[in-house]
């Protein structure tokens, strides 16, 4: 076997993680990283997103987001979401006339008729997330993050762009999901079906979370390996980097990027190729899952202990 010299091994960079499971005897914690990159006085924080999590996690993110000059966020078709979210809370019509709605670059947003089927599908997906979140004792990202903030900048594809690119690449979300499930089973990263079913039948959300948390903790590796050059990963990252460059060009120095953690292995490499250096990383707990306490071992009664000694 060909072995590398010691110096080469020593120089090999350690893999940077952006999502992990931190576990001890008392609890398991699903965590996302906040990773800072710096270049020429510009700081860019990569902030991993999880779609359902503890409410305290999102409250912490809302506080942190207020401190950025620009917070770039992911959401396919989410260029108007902040205004829609605010209008929904106030009970107003969430639709904003296109000639009045401006993106951060000053260009009018697309004035296109709504695709009712797509909106119904997105609404159904949101309801599924809410049902899962409720069952697990968690809450949803879009329900807790306040996107209607002046420093929030949409840094993702429009729905029309996403659909067009997927058609051109011959991709689909369903195909990607099926491939991910198949690969996960082959690699043994899926939860044990019997244990998961037992946990679900118990009705105890923490037991279910303990069965699936390690699968989620490996999500960035799995999705990154599966997606490769794709609309869902690299094309969306390219749009994010375009928006980042535009923001930096206007003089913005303190930026955050709020994207799914699976995007960051590729995105961090792109930043490093542009001359950014990793400066700092901290971990934020999205799921804090207490483990069941083990029942104390019962000591035999004195009479029973005496009988056992006599029998021996």
Per-residue DSSP letters for the chain? -----HHHHHHSPPPPPSEEEEE-SSEEEEEEEEEEEEETTEEEEEEEE-SEE-HHHHHHHHHHHTT-SEEEE--TT-TTHHHHHHHHHHTS-----TTT-B-TTSPBPP-----HHHHHHHHHHHHHHHHHHHHHT-EEHHHHS----TTEEE-S--HHHHHHHHHHHT--HHHHHHHHHHHHHHTT-SPPHHHHHHHHHHT-HHHHHHHHHHHHHTHHHHHHHHHSS-IIIIIHHHHHHHHHHHHHHTT--EEEEEEEGGGHHHHHHHHHHTT-EEEEEEEEEEEEEEPPPPPPPPPPPHHHHHHHHHH-
Per-residue pLDDT 10s for the chain (312 aa) are 444 443 433 444 567 899 999 999 999 999 999 999 999 999 999 999 888 999 999 999 999 999 999 999 999 999 999 999 988 887 754 444 433 333 444 444 444 444 554 454 455 556 676 787 888 899 999 999 999 999 999 999 999 999 999 999 888 766 656 655 555 454 445 667 777 777 777 778 888 888 888 877 765 554 454 446 788 889 999 999 999 999 999 999 999 999 998 899 999 999 999 999 999 999 999 999 999 887 666 655 566 555 555 555
Do 184 and 267 contact (CB within 8 A), yes or no? no
Asked if residue 87 belongs to a domain, the reply is yes
CA 132 to CA 138: how far, in whole Å? 8
For residue 146, give its domain range: 15-93+120-311
The pLDDT value recorded for residue 111 is 44
Q: How many domains, in total, are found in the chain?
A: 1
Q: Is residue 108 part of a domain?
A: no
Cα separation, 145 vs 52, whole angstroms: 11
- 198: in domain: yes
Q: Are 129 and 52 spatial neighbours (Cβ–Cβ below 8 Å)? A: yes
Rounded CA gap, 309 and 300, in Å?
12
**The pLDDT of residue 158:** 95
Assess if residue 5 is contained within a domain.
no
Residue 99 lies in a domain: no
Asked whether residue 98 is domain-assigned, the answer is no
Q: Per the domain annotation, does 2 fall within a domain?
A: no
The reply to whether 102 falls in a domain is: no
Sequence-distant (6+) residues with CB within 8 A of 124 are none
Confidence at residue 141, expressed as pLDDT on a 0 to 100 scale: 93
In this prediction, residue 121 carries a pLDDT of 47
Burial of 238 (0-12, 13-18, 19+ CB in 10 A): middle
Instruction: Write down the pLDDT at residue 31.
Output: 95
């Amino acid at each position: 076997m060909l072995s590398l010299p010691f110096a080469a091994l020593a120089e090999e960079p350690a893999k940077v993680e952006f999502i992990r499971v931190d576990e001890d005897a008392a609890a398991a914690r699903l965590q996302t990283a906040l990773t800072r990159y710096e270049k020429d006085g510009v700081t860019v924080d990569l902030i991993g997103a999880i779609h359902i999590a503890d409410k305290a996690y999102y409250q912490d993110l809302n506080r942190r987001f207020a401190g950025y000059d620009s917070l770039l966020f992911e959401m396919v078709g989410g260029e108007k979401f902040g205004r829609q979210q605010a209008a929904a809370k106030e009970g107003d019509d969430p639709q904003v006339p296109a000639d009045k709605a401006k993106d951060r670059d000053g260009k009018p947003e697309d004035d296109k008729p709504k695709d009712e089927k797509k909106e119904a599908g997105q609404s159904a997906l949101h309801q599924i997330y809410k049902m899962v979140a409720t069952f697990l004792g968690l809450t949803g990202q879009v329900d807790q993050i306040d996107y209607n903030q002046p420093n929030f900048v949409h840094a993702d594809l429009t729905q029309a762009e996403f659909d067009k690119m997927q058609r051109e690449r011959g991709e689909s979300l369903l195909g990607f999901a099926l491939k991910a499930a198949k690969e996960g089973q082959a690699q043994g990263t899926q939860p044990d079906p019997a244990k998961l079913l037992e946990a679900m039948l118990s009705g105890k959300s923490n037991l279910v979370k303990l069965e699936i948390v390690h699968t989620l903790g490996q999500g960035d590796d799995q999705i990154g390996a599966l997606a490769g050059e794709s609309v869902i990963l690299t094309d969306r990252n390219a749009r994010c980097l375009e928006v980042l460059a535009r923001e930096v060009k206007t003089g913005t120095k303190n930026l955050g990027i709020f994207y799914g953690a699976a995007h960051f292995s590729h995105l961090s490499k792109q930043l490093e190729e542009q001359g950014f250096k990793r400066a700092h990383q901290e971990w934020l707990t999205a799921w804090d899952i207490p483990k069941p306490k083990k029942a104390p071992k019962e000591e035999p009664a004195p009479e029973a202990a005496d009988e056992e000694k006599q029998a021996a």
